[in-house]
Chains A and B, each alone.
Chain A
């Protein structure tokens, strides 16, 4: 654990308190079949103006950990069983439900994956946007609508004055996602969590939406957590990446270093399975096996049954997040790998 702490210390968060600091977060789902350990001791931090990408497959705990931060975990069956979520100097887990509610939407907001199902089908877009001002600021109906129009113009929805009275199903996929972003942006929160914001969109629209998110983040100097399984989406936008596997962060790195030199076999496997033009005609690499069942996470390193480098120690000992260094011992700021053989992975 001591190495884990030192790895975090080197990310530079010591200079000023980060906007959000998640420490040793544990989340479990108590189901009929047993307890599924969805998040097992996750640490990360985001500063104002910074973008953290959390990368992982379905079931890796990336969405669940962010839902826990947001306080919208489906509970029961989901429970936060340990850790701290420090946000602007307060531990969110110690707040009352009502205090927590006032943080949601106003200080931290969330953009969801599928805007069609995430927007209420029976209310107009204007009503749903205006609701933010009505509830949090006590604005009048009329003011809220004007603000909603302003917001829609802000996120580049043409004809906002007319479209404010339309329903979500009357919008295209890209425009709907803009509405979602507008809703998150409404009260100018300090932190936006975007849970796979572009997964449901066409590739061309994906780029536009990511660009919009990036622009708005810079303009308002917000912290942004980008949850995704798509390595391509994050490359241009994120500052740093945390790769999650079976409820743990297995590697952290500044974005371009991760792509150039992964220090965890899982990350390497992910990068190798991206189709590349220069490998045309060759069989595409795939990580063998399946993600683990969260009811029965393998002992030791959860990735060991799928790992080409697995040794005995991987089956018995959970690797902590080692601080990653160059071969000559020079520190690599912000880099960490939860692999017993990170040196071999990175340098060998």
Chain B
């Protein structure tokens, strides 16, 4: 187990280098960041050359990359072209996004598994049909449509919540955006749970549990659900990273100044340090979440052994 964790952590190094380099190169390929910095108004060539020189943009790509990596390992993710420390940006943006993701993830887990269990246990009944139709609708509509519609209905028309998220991103304000962010994943979780519950409810060990005279609720939670959740947890783990990345759209809609907001700004202004910095952290979070899921997998299913 310990060796497995160490090996997995070591595997992260090439993945980390690979992803950062790809992002670095892609942002570089977008075009000249100095021009982007000035927007519509073209800078004078002399000024542009000076900025380029001071930011080291005249060096070959790999030199720039090495330079950047050296910075990362000394805790310096660089500065944006406007002079802000990327680390400071990260520190202000990530907590907000983490909070949003946590809200979304909770909604996804509770509602997704709950609805899936309900519909899996009552297969073919009206509850099941309702859940199936609703989830299909949610999956087929783009997130930004759901987002704007719900924002309009709840935030503007009925005034139940704030239409946008206020300063400091209080939890109350994050429930609606969290729901929007979770919506598609929630639908997938519900469907996946339904399938595995329906499948496992015919399993021999569930019949054994009933034959033992266990109350229905215990049969469902201890025997049926416990086994059915194994594939669901796998999905949830990989989805955690996707949620943080997917927050980009939701954050735009609800004006949340989180990772998505800054990433969007960074790409718009071709700001390499910002983009690479934010994506790097996303990658690390994603890798760690995956590792966590794989470890959890062994806890849930004792037949799995790590070698």
Contacts and interface: CB of A to CB of B under 8 A. Distances in A.
A69 B203 CA distance: 20
A167 B208 CA distance: 16
Contacts of A119: 205, 208
Contacts of B205: 117-121
A131 interface: yes
B229 to A, nearest CB: 10
A160 to B, nearest CB: 19
A168 B130 CA distance: 38
Interface stretch (B11-19, B183-191, B211-219, B269-277): B211-219
B203 A106 contact: no
B196 to A, nearest CB: 13
Chain B contact residues: over half helix, strand or loop, or mixed?
helix
A19 interface: no
B303 interface: yes
A103 interface: yes
A30 interface: no
Most chain B beta carbons < 10 A, residue from A72, A106, A114, A117: A72
A70 B208 CA distance: 11
A277 interface: no
B53 interface: no
Interface in B283-300: 300
Interface string B28-58: 0000000000000000000000000000000
B301 A101 contact: no
A131 B208 CA distance: 12
Contacts of B223: 120, 123
A102 B300 CA distance: 29
Residues of A in contact with B, size category: 20 to 34
A123 B218 CA distance: 14
Contacts of A105: 211-214
A135 interface: yes
B302 A135 contact: no
A169 B303 contact: yes
B8 interface: no
B303 A72 contact: no
A132 interface: yes
A104 B211 contact: yes
B120 to A, nearest CB: 15
Given A120-B227, A122-B301, A72 B214 contact: no
Contacts of B207: 72, 74, 112, 118
Interface in A222-258: none
A205 to B, nearest CB: 19
Nearest to B209: A120
A183 B205 CA distance: 13
A54 interface: no
A296 interface: no
By size class, the interface of chain B is 20 to 34
A120 B211 contact: no
B304 to A, nearest CB: 10
Nearest to A101: B213
A112 B208 contact: yes
B13 to A, nearest CB: 33
A132 B226 contact: no
Contacts of A102: 213
Nearest to A70: B211
A187 to B, nearest CB: 9
B210 interface: yes
Given A109-B211, A136-B213, A118 B204 contact: yes
Contact of A122 (B204, B212, B218, B227): B227
B301 A135 contact: no
Given A101-B215, A105-B213, A121 B227 contact: yes
A6 B194 CA distance: 52
Contacts of A120: 205, 208-209, 223, 226-227
A101 B227 CA distance: 23
Interface string B226-240: 110000000000000
Nearest to A187: B213
Given A72-B207, A109-B211, A121 B303 contact: yes
Contacts of A169: 302-303
B203 to A, nearest CB: 7
Contact of B208 (A74, A103, A118, A136): A118
A27 interface: no
A86 interface: no
A121 B213 contact: no
Nearest to B227: A122
A182 interface: no
5 contacts: A120-B208, A120-B227, A135-B212, A135-B214, A169-B303
Q: Please list the 3 inter-chain residue pairs (A to B) with the smallest Cβ-Cβ separation, ordered nearest first.
A: A105-B213, A104-B213, A117-B204
